[in-house]
Structure 1
Amino acid sequence: MRYFIELSYFGKAYHGWQNQPSAVSVQEVLESKLSMVLREKIDIVGAGRTDAGVHALQMFAHFDHDQQLDTAQLKYKLNSMLPKDIAVANIFEVRQDAHARFDAVSRSYEYHIVLEKDAFSHDFAWLVKLPLDVKKMNQAADILKEYTNFKSFSRSRTDVKTYNCRIDHAEWRKDGNRLIFHITADRFLRNMVRAIVGTLTNIGQGKYSVDRLKEIIESEDRGKAGASVPAHGLYLSRIVYPENIMKE
């Protein structure tokens, strides 16, 4: 039987989601505690990867087990054993062929910026001291939806077969002292959101024109885009699946 785990985590203490040979990952910790509870080695498959220091408001992973599980009890036991920066929200049975990564229809991220020094946000948002023109940043964000090849925003050394992504939504919203970038796509490349945010903030600070974004995308050259912004402002915020993944 296959089960999905819905969870969230604060990424500061972890070298990303995926298992690493010499650093602690969220996947490693979750697999360890799940294996202890079920008293056998359990491997989990995540919906994707988040880089070191990136947070997740919603993440999914799947695992297989040959027995019917009391998912409410399993959730309770896992949360009692997991560190305080990882929380399980739900565990539910799905179709045997459901896949946490490949069946995801869309993924959404948020990037949080604070515009003034805030003693309580240094681990949760990036402090930007220079003024930002949010109108120009949103004009540029709209341009992203006109393209599908985002090689200019991808980590240089990567093993992906395609740089194509379909961006469905990209928008900056201001909330008091905080500026939040919302972006939704069918898939994301490694480092893509942080590189996009770095480029859009350059536009907001007047370093680039809005139209230069088109030149950057069409160049397919990572060196022409803005620098990647700090990881601690980035949140994986939502993953959407088709309704038919649930076991009937």
Structure 2
Amino acid sequence: MRYFIDLAYLGTAYHGWQIQPEAVSVQQVLQEALSKILQQNIEVVGAGRTDAGVHATQMYAHFDADLNCDEKTLQFKLNSFLPKDISIRQLFKVQSQAHARFDACSRSYEYHIVNFKDPFKIDLAYYLLKQPDIEKMNHAAAMLKDYTNFKCFSKSRTDVKTYNCNITAAFWEQSKDELIFHITADRFLRNMVRAIVGTLLDIGLGKNSVEFLKEILKSEDRSMAGTSVPAHGLYLTRIEYPKTALFDGL
């Protein structure tokens, strides 16, 4: 049987989601926990990748297994076994064809910025001393939805077949003491969100004009875009799937 896991994690201690040689990843920890509890060799497939230090308030993954207990019991055992920075929010059965990665139709991220030194958010938000112009950044962010090729925001060494992404939402909001960037797309390239945030901050801080973003996008050149912001301010927040019978638990 195939099962989906809805999980959240604090990414500070991990080298991203995907299993890496000589480094601890979220996928590795989850896979090892499931294998020990179920006493089977379990392979976990995630809905996507997050870089080292990036957090997730929602990540989906699937695995195949013959359970020796019900889903609620397994969820409880997993949460008891896993470290405190990984939490299983839900575990449920899906149709055997359902795929956590390939069936996902959209992913959403947030990037959090604080304008003062907050010891309680040292690993949870990016400390930016200056206050950027939110209106200019929102004007620029809206332009992203008019483009599909985002090679200028991708890491140069990557094995992707296409740099096309369909961005459906991109905007900034001031929420209490934080400045938060929201972005949703069908897919993202490696390092894409952090590069976009760095580029938009350059505009908000007066280093580049709003119109210059068009030149960056047309160039398809990573060196034209801004510096990638630190990973610890980035959160994967939502993954959506089609409303079909494959995903009865969603």
TM-score range (shorter-chain normalised) is over 0.9
**Partner in structure 2 of residue 172 of structure 1:** 172
Distance in 2 between the 1:237 and 1:76 partners? Answer: 23
Q: Would the aligned equivalents of 2:202 and 2:208 in 1 still touch at CA under 8 Å?
A: yes
Distance in 1 between the 2:84 and 2:68 partners? Answer: 28
Distance in 1 between the 2:205 and 2:102 partners? Answer: 38
**Partner in structure 1 of residue 143 of structure 2:** 143
Q: CA deviation at 1:158?
A: 0.1
- What is the SS of the residue equivalent to 2:200? helix
Q: CA deviation at 1:78?
A: 0.2
Q: CA deviation at 1:37?
A: 0.7
Q: CA deviation at 1:41?
A: 1.0
Equivalences for residues 98-247 of structure 1 within 5 A: 98-244=98-244, 245-246=246-247
Q: Percent identity?
A: 64
**Partner in structure 2 of residue 88 of structure 1:** 88
Q: CA deviation at 1:162?
A: 0.2
Counterpart residue type for residue 200 of structure 1: L
Distance in 2 between the 1:68 and 1:143 partners? Answer: 51
Q: CA deviation at 1:246?
A: 2.3
- What is the SS of the residue equivalent to 1:243? coil
Distance in 2 between the 1:67 and 1:231 partners? Answer: 36
Distance in 1 between the 2:34 and 2:62 partners? Answer: 12
- What is the SS of the residue equivalent to 2:164? coil
Distance in 2 between the 1:118 and 1:134 partners? Answer: 21
Aligned Cα RMSD in Å?
Answer: 1.1
Counterpart residue type for residue 105 of structure 2: V
Q: Would the aligned equivalents of 2:105 and 2:241 in 1 still touch at CA under 8 Å?
A: yes
User: Structure 1 unaligned runs (5+)?
Assistant: none
TM-score (norm 2): 0.97
Counterpart residue type for residue 47 of structure 1: A
Structure 1 stretch 68-77 or stretch 51-60: which is displaced more? 68-77
**Partner in structure 1 of residue 52 of structure 2:** 52
Structure 1 stretch 63-72 or stretch 83-92: which is displaced more? 63-72
- What is the SS of the residue equivalent to 2:201? helix
Counterpart residue type for residue 21 of structure 1: P
Counterpart residue type for residue 155 of structure 1: K
Distance in 1 between the 2:212 and 2:248 partners? Answer: 48
**Partner in structure 2 of residue 13 of structure 1:** 13
Query: In the TM superposition, what whole-angstrom CA distance separates every residue of 1:93-126 from its partner, at most 9, and x where no partner exists?
Result: 1110100000001000000000111121111000
Query: In the TM superposition, what whole-angstrom CA distance separates every residue of 1:41-84 from its partner, at most 9, and x where no partner exists?
Result: 10000000000000000000000013475100000000000000
Q: CA deviation at 1:8?
A: 0.2
User: Structure 2 unaligned runs (5+)?
Assistant: none
Q: Would the aligned equivalents of 2:169 and 2:182 in 1 still touch at CA under 8 Å?
A: yes
Distance in 2 between the 1:68 and 1:147 partners? Answer: 49
Counterpart residue type for residue 173 of structure 1: E
- What is the SS of the residue equivalent to 1:50? coil
- What is the SS of the residue equivalent to 1:37? helix
Give structure 1 regions of 4+ aligned residues with deviation exceeding 6 angstroms: none
